[in-house]
Amino acid sequence: MNRINLEELNFFDPEVLECPFDIYKQVQEEAPVLKLPGSDIFLVTRHADVRQVIRDPATYSNDFSNMINADSGSNKIRDVYKSGYEMVETLLTQDPPRHKIYRSLVNKVFSNKRIESMRGDIEQIANELIDAWIYDSEVDLLNQLCVPLPIYVIADQLGVPRSELPLLKKWSDASASRVGQLADEERQLQDAKDIVEFQHYFADMLDFLRDNPQDNIISDLANAKIDEGRLLTKPEALGMLQQILVAGNETSTNAISGGVVLLIQNPQQQQRLRESPEHVLTAVEEILRLESPTTGMWRRVTCDTEIGGVEIPEGAMVMVRYEAANRDECVFSNPEKMDVLRSNASDHLAFGQGIHFCLGAQLARTELEIALSALLNRTDNWALSEGKNTLLHHPNMLLRGLKELHITFTAI
């Protein structure tokens, strides 16, 4: 492991974020709570410390919208956003008790009972997608399974025609890119255009469904009442839909693609699953531990406090790194190694904990389980296609997703 001078660490350099695991190991050994050079940002990397932060919203507030909405764009970008709807606090950047009001409206959307009732539909979608290329011997797996599976599922739940998949994906990517904060000026402008397009599309749908209620998520939000009987405002409903869209597909896409790569790189673990498919649920947790599709999250400190003996002043920002906590050797033995039989794999923090536990966690788990099971049952001899995979990820502070994934295989 090559050690670096932590006093010179530019943690948000895309090259660092692309492969941060040696740095995490060094930070956990030398400064588990690290004040990033030249900033008021504290990087928290140990499992116990991350849990402390995310389970204490009174001290570590989710009101970090200033980090996402930082006025760093050009006038052209700001003008585009002005043509849309105001971005208001609902789920991700809202604290109790207000957070609970919004969260209660969407909890049933992602309840275990509802997701279990969707299992047959998810299995059908996965197998229909595989049917399209099962005899081709090579496939762009990212775009032929990992992306469309969760998008089709969330489109069905939202009440959006599956023909709109390209639009939903474009809008979800734009929202993820904006939160990730590493886009260049050109991409920021395109993100703004796509987000405003998303807003106008669903604003019209909200209007229609208030007059013509249906059995889907958008209709539920269009007609939901809060604060002693008022309907959600358009910005409130749009903000929640935007987060549901991202929660309902980004984590799944990234986990499925990352999981396949892990199983290709660990053929003995893949063989274990083929011989004992009942271990797929543990494998899902191990993939989430190692891949951590949500790599970290912001928190704002509301009062002078300390983490791991490090004093942190009021107003400072904390960046909790789930992907570092999930490789903490204090919790996981031999943490870099994939083990589909790992007894405590589910102790990972890939979906956070506490009141902001990821909305789409159970849906992502179910989709990952179904996608892996279908692939293992129907294909064999997986390999990365030569010359078609960089195994690089989209630059993003908070999400980790492969840019491409092409594999060769044989049909069973």
Between strands 296-301 and 41-44, the pairing is unpaired
Structure tokens belonging to residue 148: 């469309």
The pLDDT score that the predictor gives to residue 107 is: 85
d(CA 243, CA 204): 18
Under a CB-based contact definition with an 8 Å cutoff, are residues 311 and 244 in contact?
no
What is the Cα 381 distance to its own chain's centre?
29
What pLDDT does 123 receive?
98
Round to whole Å and give the CA distance between 17 and 57.
26
Task: Report the run of H or E that residue 101 belongs to, with start and end.
Answer: helix 98-107
pLDDT digits (tens, 9 = 90+) for 311-350: 999 999 999 999 999 999 999 999 999 999 999 999 999 9
Contact 209, 223 (CB under 8 A): yes
CATH class of domain segment(s) 1-61+295-349: alpha beta
pLDDT tier at 360 (50, 70, 90 boundaries)? confident
State the CB neighbour count (10 A cutoff) for residue 108: 11
The letter for the amino acid at 40 is D
Closest CA to 87 of 200, 226, 187, 236: 236
d(CA 93, CA 354): 14
Q: At residue 359, what are phi and psi to the nearest 5 degrees?
A: -55, -45
Domain ranges (residues) in the chain: 1-61+295-349, 62-294+350-411
Q: Taking residues 278-289, report their average pLDDT.
A: 98
Band of pLDDT at residue 70, cut at 50, 70 and 90: low
Q: How far apart are CA 339 and CA 332, in angstroms?
A: 11
> Topology of 62-294+350-411 in CATH?
Cytochrome p450 (1.10.630)
- Please check whether residue 354 is in contact with residue 54, taking contact to mean a CB–CB distance below 8 angstroms: yes
Q: Which of 81, 92, 73, 88 is nearest to 181 (CA)?
A: 73
Report the interhelical angle of 148-158 vs 234-247 (nearest 10°). Answer: 150
Rounded-to-10 torsion of CA 127, 350, 40, 392 = -40
* Averaged pLDDT, 157-183: 91
User: In one letter, which amino acid is 274?
Assistant: R
pLDDT for the residue 249: 86
pLDDT the model gives residue 106: 86
What mean pLDDT do residues 405-412 have? 98
Instruction: Tokens for 273, please give them.
Output: 């699953």
Q: Mean of the pLDDT values across residues 159-186? A: 92
Closest CA to 331 of 368, 284, 322: 322
Q: What percent of the chain has pLDDT over 90?
A: 84
From 88, 126, 96, select the one nearest 302 (Cα to Cα): 96
More confident residue, 73 or 230: 230
Determine the 3-state secondary structure of 249 from DSSP. coil
> pLDDT tens across 5-34, in order?
999 999 999 999 999 999 999 999 999 999
Residue 195: which of 69, 92, 104, 295 has the closest Cα? 69
Q: What's the confidence (pLDDT) of residue 109?
A: 77
Average pLDDT over residues 133-159: 95
Question: 299-304 — which CB contacts under 8 Å span 24+ positions?
Answer: 299/53, 299/54, 299/60, 299/61, 299/62, 299/64, 300/60, 300/61, 300/62, 300/63, 300/64, 301/59, 301/60, 301/61, 302/58, 302/59, 302/60, 302/61, 303/59
Residue 361 has pLDDT above 60, yes or no: yes
The CA radius of gyration of the chain, in Å to the nearest whole number, is 21
Alpha-carbon span 48 to 34, nearest angstrom: 15
Distance (Å, whole) CA 28 – CA 211: 55
- 166-184: average pLDDT: 92
**What is the arithmetic mean of pLDDT over 71-99?**
87
Mean pLDDT for the stretch of residues 183-201? 95
* pLDDT averaged over every residue in the chain: 94
pTM across the whole model = 0.94
- Residue 285 structure tokens: 């947790």
Taking the C-alpha atoms of residue 355 and residue 314, their distance in angstroms, rounded to an integer, is: 22
What are the Cα distances from residue 112, in Å, to 186, 193, 366? 40, 35, 10
Q: 42 or 104: which carries more pLDDT confidence?
A: 42
